[in-house]
Amino acid sequence: MAAATRALRSSSFPSTFTTNFIRRSLSTAVSSAAAPLKSESFTPFIDTKGKNVQWVFLGCPGVGKGTFASRLSVLLGVPHIATGDLVREELSSSGPLSKQLTEIVNQGKLVSDEIVISLLSKRLETGEAKGESGFILDGFPRTVRQAEILDDVTDIDLVVNLKLPEKVLVEKCLGRRICSQCGKNFNVANINVKGENGNPDISMDPLLPPPQCVSKLITRSDDTEAIVRERLSVYYEKSQPVEDFYRSQRKLIEFDLPGGVLESWPKLLEALNLDENEDKQSAAV
Ligand SMILES: Nc1ncnc2c1ncn2[C@@H]1O[C@H](COP(=O)(O)OP(=O)(O)O)[C@@H](O)[C@H]1O
């Protein structure tokens, strides 16, 4: 891990970010065919004391990046920034990109690096104006090119790669519901998946909404089985090489989720050597 985490520089980061991005020639983009690296056994050094972490959450659609990144952001006092949320905000606005984004998202494809970086830069700029520093990124970077651009402008301390079997991912996406009023996420799926190849069984109880949300539940338009399967195949092709990118930098922690949130959360904290009862932690794993 880079010991000296560079804080996001209030005035220069977003513009540097964008400028670097524009300067980069498309021909230098690394293709998703990057050679997979051998998995090594090591644990990154985790030090969260006295600084605002710059972490990234990777993982397939439906794995729970949003849930765990959001909980950790509260614990560590840094913003949780999900590029999927930024894309959805943009497509539900009446802005010029709205129609184009709706089409892309509803086909399960990735939005262009240009658009997503512009949305992220704006979000970081707004946060900096409010005094935010540090972040937990969820859903970014999703291509090696995005990872390289991020690497050019700031140091990422740690990358958490959440994992679940594909069958569970599909069931979770199909069971996902959002309260259109309070914005909270729920899940109506009752998951019991037999472990294969020596892996443990996975059970997850539904995460049901309180009575006041029941009549306001909506399903994401891209959470249909066909689109979920397309998103998964896009993940394997474009985003899995990002795991290798960070693995080679020895920043990647792999975390196989053992079950639902209640079961997984304490184990994730343990893997990150964090203690929920303290505000900020210092730890060497
Ligand atoms: N970093 C990104 N690069 C390109 N497209 C993105 C990125 N983040 C989000 N998107 C777009 O927004 C959609 C929803 O993203 P997200 O909520 O993160 O979904 P998922 O459940 O698939 O992880 C994606 O399918 C993609 O079209």
pLDDT score of 265 more than 80: yes
Q: Which of 88, 172, 177, 231 is catalytic?
A: 231
- How large a percentage of the chain has pLDDT more than 70? 79
Mean pLDDT value of segment 57-75: 96
Write the pLDDT tens digit of every residue in 80-106: 999 999 999 999 998 888 999 999 999
Task: Provide DSSP, 13-53.
Answer: HHHHHHHHHHHS-GGGPPPTTPPPPPP-------B-TTS--
ipTM exceeding 0.90, yes/no? yes
C-alpha 107 to ligand 1 mean position (Å): 11
Q: Which atom of ligand 1 is nearest to the CA of 112?
A: 4
The answer for residues whose C-beta is within 8 angstroms of residue 61's C-beta and 6 or more apart is: 169, 173, 228, 231, 232, 235
pLDDT score of 109 more than 90: yes
pLDDT score of 32 more than 50: no
Least confident among 12-16, 50-54, 110-114, 209-213? 12-16
Note the pLDDT of residue 42. Answer: 56
Question: 231 an active-site residue?
Answer: yes
Note the pLDDT of residue 43. Answer: 63
Measured CA to CA in angstroms, residue 17 lies from 24, 110, 122, 147, 279 at distances of 11, 20, 10, 12, 30
Question: 176 an active-site residue?
Answer: yes
> What is the pLDDT confidence band of residue 277, given thresholds at 50, 70 and 90?
confident
Q: Which of 145, 176, 177, 251 is catalytic?
A: 176
pLDDT score of 62 more than 90: yes
Write the pLDDT tens digit of every residue in 171-229: 999 999 999 999 999 999 999 999 888 888 999 999 999 999 999 999 999 999 999 99
Give the global pTM: 0.83
C-alpha 66 to ligand 1 mean position (Å): 12
Mean pLDDT value of segment 118-129: 94
> What is the pLDDT confidence band of residue 50, given thresholds at 50, 70 and 90?
low
Please answer whether residues 261 and 202 qualify as being in contact, where contact means their C-beta atoms are separated by less than 8 angstroms: no
Q: Which of 65, 172, 247, 251 is catalytic?
A: 65
- 62 residue type, one letter: G
Note the pLDDT of residue 13. Answer: 36
Note the pLDDT of residue 206. Answer: 94
Please answer whether residues 203 and 167 qualify as being in contact, where contact means their C-beta atoms are separated by less than 8 angstroms: no
Mean pLDDT value of segment 269-273: 95
pLDDT score of 275 more than 90: no
The answer for residues whose C-beta is within 8 angstroms of residue 237's C-beta and 6 or more apart is: 32
Note the pLDDT of residue 180. Answer: 95
Q: Which atom of ligand 1 is nearest to the CA of 142?
A: 1
- 99 residue type, one letter: K
Pair of tokens at residue 16? 């540097």
The residue whose C-alpha atom lies closest to atom 26 belonging to ligand 1 is 110
Note the pLDDT of residue 249. Answer: 96
Average pLDDT, the chain: 84
Query: Any residues with Cβ below 6 Å from ligand 1, and which?
Result: 61-62, 83-84, 87, 104-105, 109-111, 116, 139-140, 142, 146, 231
Please answer whether residues 65 and 161 qualify as being in contact, where contact means their C-beta atoms are separated by less than 8 angstroms: no
Question: 65 an active-site residue?
Answer: yes
pLDDT score of 4 more than 80: no
